[in-house]
Structure formats: C-alpha cells, structure tokens
Homo-oligomer: A and B are copies of this chain.
Amino acid sequence: MDWRRVLIGRPLKDREGTERKVNVFQGLAVLAPDALSSVAYGTQEILIMLSYAGMAALWFSLPISATLVLLLAFLVYNYRQIIAEYPNGGGAYVIGRDTLGPGIGLIAGAALLIDYTLTVAVSVTAGVAALVSAFPRLGHWTVWVSVLFTLFIMVVNLRGTKESAQLFAFPTYLFIAMVLIMVGYGLIHPEFAIARPASVLSPTTSALAVGPLLLLRAFSSGSSALTGIEAISNGVPIFRNPAPGQARTTLMFLGILLGAMFFGTSLVANRLGLHPNAAHAFPVTVLQLMAGRLFGRGVYFYLLSFVTMAILAIAANTGFAGFPQLASTMARDQWMPRMFLSRGDRLVYQNGILVLGGFAILLIILFKGNTAALIPLYAVGVYMSFTIAMVSLVKKRWAQNADGRRVTTIITAGLGAVLTTAVVFISVITKFTEGAWIVVVAIPLMLWGFRSVRRHYRMVADILRMEDLSGKPTPKQLVVIVPVASINQMTMGVLSTALSMNPDELLALHIATSPEREQQMTERWKQWNPDSRIKLVVVQSQYRAVLRPMVRYIDHLSRLFAPGRVIVVIPELLVEKRWQNILHNHMGFALEAIMVFRRSIAVMIVPYRLPHKSSDSPPG
C-alpha cells in the first residue's frame, strides 16, 4: 500500500538517532573513499588532456603528478592543523562563517554545494565507466545506467546511512590493496619495462612544444585527484575520543595512501605506455587498461572493475552525506529554504537528498554521462573551499598568542592558500569554455539566491512579529457565499454548515447557463424556501463556463467588504473509489485554487462523502 514504507523503511524515533563512533580504521573507510576513489580518474584525466598533444606528451603526466603530490602534502599538513583548530568539524562554510564572516562563509557554502553535486555526478559516471570497461555492451546505456545508479544511492540515503562503516570497509580496503598490488607489480616486473614504447620513455618533447597552456589544463584536470581530502576535517565528531587525534592520524594515512596510489598509477601508466584514447568504441579507464595489461582480462580485471565501481559509489555517497547536512546548516542560518531543515521519518534531511539527486541526474544527462566533460567544473569549487579553509586557519592563528608553531602554521597555511588559489585560477582560465564558466556564473547566482531567501524570511518575520502580545483575536461579521448547482441533499448539508457559522450575510450563488435554467432554479428555490437568512443570487453565464462568472461575482462582492470578511463555502462530492473521480468535475477544488491563490479569499471545502453501497460495485 504505502510504497514509501517499502522503499525507505519504517519511521524512526528521535532517540534512535544516536550515532556509532568510529576508530581510525573505520574512519578511513567512511571518510576516505571520496579522496581515494579519485585515483580511478585522476591520472586518466591528465593523460586524456595530454594526449591532445600526441603520444610523446604523455610523459608530462609524471611531473604533473609529482606537483600534485606535493600539493597533497601541503593540504594534508594544513588540514591536520585545521582539525586541531576546529575540533567540532564543520566544513569550509562553518569555518569561513565563524572566522572570516558570513560573506566568505556563503562563498564557501556555494562552492561546497556545487562540489558535493559534482562529487556525485563525477563518481557515478566514473563508476559506470569502470563497469563499461568490463562490459562494453553497457556503453550504449551509459547515461541511463548512471541515472539509475544515482537513484539507487539516493534511495539508500533516504533510508539512512547508519551502517556505513561496516559496509564500506571491505570495498575500500580491497580497492587500496588492489591498486597498490598493481602499482607494485607494474613497477617491479621486468617484462613490462621492455614493453613500453620508446616515444614515452623520456621527455623527447619539450614543455614548450607541448605548450604551457595544455600542461596547465592537464594539471587542472589532475587536481581533481585531491578532491575529498577535506572530508576527514569536516567529520571530526564521528571519531572516538580523542576525536581530533584520531582524525589527524586518519588524515595522515589518507595522505600517504592517496599519494602512493595516485603517483604510482601515473608511474605505471607511463611505464606501460597506457593512454585512454585507445581505439575503443567506449572509453576504457586507465585502471582497467592497467589491470588488463598486467594480469590479462581475468579475475583480477573484473574484480578491480567491480571494486572501483563500489568505491566510487561510496564516494558518491559522501556527497549525499555532505550536501543535506550543509543545506540544513545554511537553512538554519536562513540562507536556504526552510524545507532543508525538516528531517523525515528516517532521521535524514530528505529534501537535501532529493535536491542533490535531482541536480546530479541533471548534470549526468546534460553531460551525457561523460566524466571527462564534468571534470572542468569540478576543481573550481573544491579548491575555493580549500582556500577559504586555509585563510581561516591563518586568521585564527594570527589572533592567537605567539607559540612555537604559530609562525610555521601561518606560513604553511598561507602558502597553501596561495597554491589552492592558483589552482582555482588555473582551472577557471584554462577550462573556462569547457564548463568552468558554469561554476563562475553559478556561484554569484547562488549568493544572490541565499541573500534573497534570507531577505524574504526576515521580511515575513517582521510582518508577522507580535512582540508585545497586546493584539487579541476579535470576531468580525462574516459574508458567506455558497455556490449552488441544484437543490439536493448536498446543498442542504453545505447550507447547514454555512448557517452554523452565524454569518451576517449568507448568499446561495447559482450560475445559470440559460434563461430557462434561471427560471427553473428561482422557482424551485421559492418552493423550497429553505431559510429566511439565505438569499439566492442567480448570475447568467454567456459562455457555457460556470467557474468564470462565479469567480467574477465573488471577486466583485469581496471588494465591497473589508478584507477577511468574505468566505466561500463549497460542497465537494467525495467518491468511494478512485476511478469515480473522473466522473465528477471537482468544481470545488478548482474554485478554491482560484479564490485562495489569486484573490486571497478564505475558502472552506465541505466534503460530502458518498456512502459505499454494495450496488455500486461492478457487476461480477
């Protein structure tokens, strides 16, 4: 009956919402997949970009990866400081808001909302790409498989994601192990050292020949590999005590693993001369290419495909954890619609989950399920939030008393901020026409939206406020209008209700579609003579419509009285079975929609439910 119950599960009470705390091992499984899964597309995006300059240019993936690993080290070092400074977690929005003011907080908030949406879209499409590498037949359905996949993760999140640590540990660590085994085997095994094509061996092409712009674009594409490392600093409170210590240790492990996996993948891809533009009908990912070359299209290849897909699904899940949380925080600050505040039956912010799922699906459809096409949008938002977190750290330390580590932190965080700002600019400039412009346009629009929302809520609160409680409700004289189609039991019932309301004026309004019907109604009314307080008003309709003249008359009448005095009381026949609804014209609801919304007139629906008669059941 209730399909929502089946899909999403039974409602949970408030007290069922206590979270289990995690240790370092579990924390890595819950918070690291977003970052670690980037290995599945980071190297690949660099190679795709470089391949535009020919095979020889692929070598440049090594210096680019090395630069990114350096940037990673910086980010990990600084985020460990951020964990110490902000032990309650909270993303760049909260940190920025509290340290640098609401304006900066909003910029971080906008960047993060975009980031979470892209995390979902990029992870899902990359996961589906891994699947398509293994099962090329799926290639024709990339977009729809991605959409279904997103819907699946959405439903899982609507059910609530309490069991995540246990569920996520296995694929996460399996992914780490499989990538590291592959990297180790690919680096050590002598057979493959010979197999690599000569052109990829050394920098035979100069950086100038490849073009600095292309190198910067490849760097910007690769910078997507570092997205997600902020997740641990956002999620400090989920760790066991001492939470900041555990989070810092987890972040260090994440940095080491991500660095090794990412740089290792780039190294091996180079050694094997892999490039993702091979003549396949559908993109084959670099990780799959690598597994295929090293171990053949066997168990390892297929297992890696599934594990890659699994960790990317978990990464998408991170977006579903972050977006609704951030949206609710911003809604509490009145920057976002109130609906993001309401937690549903399963204690999750279901509106945030639904909106995120909707936007992610929109992106997937617009970008045809192509990860590479989504990447240009990705880095801008993430690195903007990195920058804001770093600057906040600098400001916070600046205000503190001098101690041994104060200057070091200010310098490293400041340097980090400069680097991440550089990535933002590089990404915006080199990828502007490929999609970065969308983010550049979206962020100011979102800021304007946030402010409009806040302004509206403020205005409503101002208007509705009743500070001194001196005003009291006072009764007024009511004018009640009852539309009457004919004289029958339903009419009698609704007129009874209208009489009970003790109105000053009670009008029965009949719309006559012909002079004959007018005469018929007035005569029958006279015969009936229901009550001296009820006045019959008949209005002629030139067009066969009933609704329009009715609205016009009520509108006309309501102008004669003070606002709030006119009430329209409408009978509505309720049928027993759903199909019977098409047999009635539901004038009442149509009239209500017009009167309430367009004219601000109070409308009362008096339902007349038909009794369920056995003779009404269909013949056997």
- Residues of chain A whose beta carbon lies under 8 Å from any beta carbon of chain B: 11-14, 337-339, 342-345, 347, 448, 451-453, 455-457, 459-460, 463-466, 469, 471-478, 487-493, 495-502, 524, 527-528, 530-531, 534, 542-545, 564, 567, 572-575, 580, 582-585, 592, 596-597, 600-607, 609-611, 613, 615-616, 618-619
Contact of A596 among B13, B477, B490, B605 (CB under 8 A): B605
A550 to chain B, nearest CB (A): 14
Contact of A478 among B345, B457, B473, B501 (CB under 8 A): B501
Q: In the complex the two chains form, is A466's CB within 8 Å of B487's CB? A: yes
Q: In the complex the two chains form, is B610's CB within 8 Å of A600's CB? A: no
Q: In the complex the two chains form, is A544's CB within 8 Å of B14's CB? A: yes
Apart from A342-B544, A469-B527, A497-B567, 7 more pairs, CB < 8 Å? A13-B542, A451-B619, A456-B575, A471-B489, A473-B498, A500-B501, A601-B607
Q: In the complex the two chains form, is A499's CB within 8 Å of B473's CB? A: yes
Q: Which residues of B contact A492 (CB under 8 A)?
A: 466, 471-473
Alpha-carbon distance A618/B444, docked complex (angstroms): 13
Q: Kindly report which residue of chain B lies nearest to residue A470, judged by CB atoms.
A: B528
Alpha-carbon distance A500/B604, docked complex (angstroms): 14
Q: In the complex the two chains form, is B500's CB within 8 Å of A477's CB? A: yes
Q: In the complex the two chains form, is B534's CB within 8 Å of A473's CB? A: yes
Contact of A472 among B498, B531, B580 (CB under 8 A): B531
Alpha-carbon distance A575/B542, docked complex (angstroms): 34
Closest 9 CB pairs of A and B: A604-B604, A473-B495, A502-B502, A464-B488, A475-B499, A475-B500, A473-B496, A600-B609, A501-B501
Q: Which residues of B contact A491 (CB under 8 A)?
A: 466
Alpha-carbon distance A3/B399, docked complex (angstroms): 61
Q: In the complex the two chains form, is A488's CB within 8 Å of B466's CB? A: yes
Q: Which residues of B contact A498 (CB under 8 A)?
A: 473
Alpha-carbon distance A500/B501, docked complex (angstroms): 8
Q: In the complex the two chains form, is B502's CB within 8 Å of A489's CB? A: no
A616 in contact with B455 given A14-B544, A572-B596 (CB within 8 Å): yes
Q: In the complex the two chains form, is A605's CB within 8 Å of B607's CB? A: no
Contact of A473 among B12, B337, B530, B573 (CB under 8 A): B530
A497 in contact with B602 given A13-B543, A453-B583, A596-B574 (CB within 8 Å): yes
Alpha-carbon distance A339/B337, docked complex (angstroms): 39
Q: In the complex the two chains form, is A489's CB within 8 Å of B466's CB? A: yes
Alpha-carbon distance A469/B597, docked complex (angstroms): 36
Contact of A476 among B448, B500, B597 (CB under 8 A): B500
A101 to chain B, nearest CB (A): 18
Alpha-carbon distance A451/B618, docked complex (angstroms): 9
Q: Kindly report which residue of chain B lies nearest to residue A601, judged by CB atoms.
A: B607
Q: Kindly report which residue of chain B lies nearest to residue A597, judged by CB atoms.
A: B574
Q: In the complex the two chains form, is A489's CB within 8 Å of B476's CB? A: no
Q: Which residues of B contact A610 (CB under 8 A)?
A: 459-460, 463
Q: In the complex the two chains form, is A500's CB within 8 Å of B488's CB? A: no
Q: Kindly report which residue of chain B lies nearest to residue A525, judged by CB atoms.
A: B469
A615 to chain B, nearest CB (A): 7
Provide a sorted-by-A list of 28 A–B residue pairs whose CB atoms are within 8 angstroms: A14-B542, A342-B544, A344-B545, A448-B618, A451-B619, A452-B618, A455-B616, A456-B575, A456-B580, A459-B610, A464-B489, A466-B489, A469-B527, A472-B530, A472-B531, A475-B502, A477-B500, A478-B501, A497-B564, A500-B502, A501-B501, A567-B604, A574-B600, A597-B607, A600-B609, A602-B604, A602-B607, A603-B604
A605 in contact with B585 given A472-B531, A492-B466, A600-B574 (CB within 8 Å): no
Q: In the complex the two chains form, is A602's CB within 8 Å of B605's CB? A: yes
Q: Which residues of B contact A13 (CB under 8 A)?
A: 542-543
Q: In the complex the two chains form, is B582's CB within 8 Å of A337's CB? A: yes
Q: Which residues of B contact A496 (CB under 8 A)?
A: 473-476, 564
A113 to chain B, nearest CB (A): 16
Q: Which residues of B contact A473 (CB under 8 A)?
A: 492-493, 495-496, 498-499, 530-531, 534
Q: In the complex the two chains form, is B585's CB within 8 Å of A342's CB? A: yes
Q: In the complex the two chains form, is A490's CB within 8 Å of B472's CB? A: no
Most chain-B CB neighbours within 10 Å: which of A448, A455, A602? A602
Q: In the complex the two chains form, is A584's CB within 8 Å of B476's CB? A: no
Q: Kindly report which residue of chain B lies nearest to residue A477, judged by CB atoms.
A: B500
Q: Which residues of B contact A501 (CB under 8 A)?
A: 478, 500-502
Alpha-carbon distance A342/B485, docked complex (angstroms): 15
Q: Kindly report which residue of chain B lies nearest to residue A334, judged by CB atoms.
A: B583
Q: Which residues of B contact A605 (CB under 8 A)?
A: 592, 596, 602-604
Alpha-carbon distance A344/B546, docked complex (angstroms): 11
Q: Kindly report which residue of chain B lies nearest to residue A459, judged by CB atoms.
A: B616
Q: Which residues of B contact A531 (CB under 8 A)?
A: 472-473
Q: In the complex the two chains form, is A583's CB within 8 Å of B499's CB? A: no
A594 to chain B, nearest CB (A): 12
A584 in contact with B472 given A463-B489, A487-B466 (CB within 8 Å): no
Most chain-B CB neighbours within 10 Å: which of A456, A582, A603? A456
Q: Which residues of B contact A338 (CB under 8 A)?
A: 583-585
A563 to chain B, nearest CB (A): 9
Alpha-carbon distance A490/B605, docked complex (angstroms): 21
Contact of A583 among B337, B464, B477, B583 (CB under 8 A): B337
Q: Which residues of B contact A343 (CB under 8 A)?
A: 544
Q: Which residues of B contact A524 (CB under 8 A)?
A: 469
